[in-house]
């Protein structure tokens, strides 16, 4: 089945550790996104990528890094520089960012700092 797969579903991070959240899509979409959701808040854009080997900062990129070496993969690394990493992280994709198309989401990953 086509879709977006995020892993792991739950992840615990110790202070000072970097962790990487995986996102894979088999929808053949060009654009991919990472969002963060905090309790009672909407979705905030961390990074997005319109094409392989290219990505742009979103509204809250500080403390995060991404790569887009393959069309189907867009991993997010939460670095130790991110002061409040505990949140629900959502990966998404869309055919591109320049047409009236829908953005599709993965199931999300919970990250907790312990």
Residues lying near other proteins in the complex (CB under 8 A): 4, 6, 33, 35, 40-45, 48, 58, 88, 90, 92, 97-100, 102-108, 110
Q: Give the shortest CB-58-to-other proteins separation in angstroms.
A: 7
Q: Give the shortest CB-39-to-other proteins separation in angstroms.
A: 11
% helix / strand / coil in the chain, to the nearest 5? 0, 50, 50
Separation CA 32–CA 47 (nearest Å): 9
Instruction: Give the residue with the Cβ less far from other proteins, 21 or 92.
Output: 92
Instruction: Give the residue with the Cβ less far from other proteins, 33 or 64.
Output: 33
Instruction: Give the residue with the Cβ less far from other proteins, 16 or 100.
Output: 100
Q: Give the shortest CB-98-to-other proteins separation in angstroms.
A: 6
CB atoms within 10 A of CB 99: 8
Instruction: Give the residue with the Cβ less far from other proteins, 80 or 97.
Output: 97
Pairing state between β 10-13 and 109-113: parallel
DSSP label of 68:
-
Separation CA 38–CA 27 (nearest Å): 27
């Amino acid at each position: 089945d086509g879709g977006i797969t995020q892993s792991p579903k739950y992840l615990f991070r110790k202070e000072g550790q970097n962790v990487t959240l995986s996102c894979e899509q088999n929808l053949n979409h060009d654009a991919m996104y990472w969002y963060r959701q905090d309790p009672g808040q909407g979705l905030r854009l961390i990074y997005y990528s319109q094409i392989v080997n290219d990505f742009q900062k979103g509204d809250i990129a500080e403390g995060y890094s991404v790569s887009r070496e393959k069309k189907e993969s867009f991993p997010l690394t939460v670095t130790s520089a991110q002061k409040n990493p505990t949140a629900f992280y959502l990966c998404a994709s869309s055919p591109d960012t320049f047409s009236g198309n829908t953005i599709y989401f993965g199931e999300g990953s919970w990250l907790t700092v312990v």
